[in-house]
């Protein structure tokens, strides 16, 4: 005799329970499953982490070497030479502070249209009489020489083109070739800086030779 068994319900509630169980199984996937599903992403992520660690290690090594070299130099100095060296360093730091404050004050009270370059925050501003007209992110090239590491103050626009602003002294404000400045990794000439092509196009009609540019 055939035994009749009750049919299992397959209504909406049953299907929802099954869906939730399947979703729970997917959420409990292991790292191995993720790695198999997205091998390219995992590879790029690993390369990025290795590059970051390598750069950090290089910077730490350079810093340690610098401190070691300074310590060795100071060991061979007399007390008078060490004091004179410290006084020179302090004097240069004071000069830098004075130059920065002077540039900020000049920029604040300049009634004509001008550019301000905030070196520490990597920003450039188009302003007039303290009113901000445009803010732009900036990328900086390496310093031209150690003596110019604190080279801040007032500059003047000497020459213009569609993609480049040349200041007196040779400093250049260049236009990025990439649509996004952050994605542009091409080298920047020493002592120069770079803004996005969008920002360059926006400010170029307002610029002219003789315009002041303040670095602080």
Burial class (CB in 10 A: 0-12, 13-18, 19+), 141: middle
Closest-CA residue to 195 (of 137, 156, 143): 137
Q: What is the pLDDT of residues 21-50, one digit of tens each?
A: 555 554 556 767 777 777 777 677 777 777
Q: What is the pLDDT of residues 110-127, one digit of tens each?
A: 788 999 999 889 999 999
- Beta strand 131-137 with 172-175: parallel, antiparallel or unpaired? unpaired
Q: What is the pLDDT of residues 171-206, one digit of tens each?
A: 999 999 887 898 898 999 998 999 999 999 999 999
What integer pLDDT is reported at residue 171 of this predicted model? Answer: 92
What integer pLDDT is reported at residue 85 of this predicted model? Answer: 65
Q: Per-residue b/e over 22-59, b at no fewer than 16 CB within 10 Å?
A: eeeeeeeeeeeeeeeeeeeeeeeeeeeeeeeeeeeeee
Q: Cα(196)–Cα(119) distance, rounded to whole angstroms?
A: 16
What integer pLDDT is reported at residue 77 of this predicted model? Answer: 65
The predicted model scores a pTM of 0.53
What integer pLDDT is reported at residue 13 of this predicted model? Answer: 57
N-terminal to C-terminal alpha carbon distance within the chain: 97
Sheet containing strand 153-160, strands side by side = 131-137, 123-128, 114-118, 212-215, 153-160, 164-167, 172-175, 193-195, 139-140
């Amino acid at each position: 005799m055939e035994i009749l068994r009750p049919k299992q319900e397959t209504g909406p509630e049953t299907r929802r329970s099954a869906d939730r169980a399947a979703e729970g199984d997917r959420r409990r996937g292991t790292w191995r499953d993720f790695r198999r599903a997205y091998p390219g992403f995992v590879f790029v992520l690993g390369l990025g982490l290795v590059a970051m660690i390598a750069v950090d290690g290089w910077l730490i090594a350079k810093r340690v070497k610098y401190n070691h070299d300074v310590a060795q130099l100071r060991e061979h100095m007399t007390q008078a030479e060490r004091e004179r060296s410290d006084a020179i360093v302090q004097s240069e730091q004071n000069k830098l502070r004075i130059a920065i404050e002077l540039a900020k004050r000049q920029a604040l009270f300049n009634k004509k249209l001008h550019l301000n370059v905030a070196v520490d925050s990597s920003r450039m501003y188009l302003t007039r009489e303290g009113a901000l007209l445009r803010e732009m992110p900036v990328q900086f090239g390496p310093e031209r020489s150690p003596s110019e590491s604190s080279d801040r103050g007032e500059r003047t626009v000497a020459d213009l083109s569609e993609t480049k602003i040349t200041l007196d002294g040779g400093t250049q404000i260049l236009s990025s070739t990439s649509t996004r400045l952050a994605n542009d990794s091409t080298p920047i000439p020493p002592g120069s800086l770079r803004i996005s092509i969008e920002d360059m196009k926006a400010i170029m009609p307002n610029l002219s030779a003789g315009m002041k540019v303040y670095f602080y």
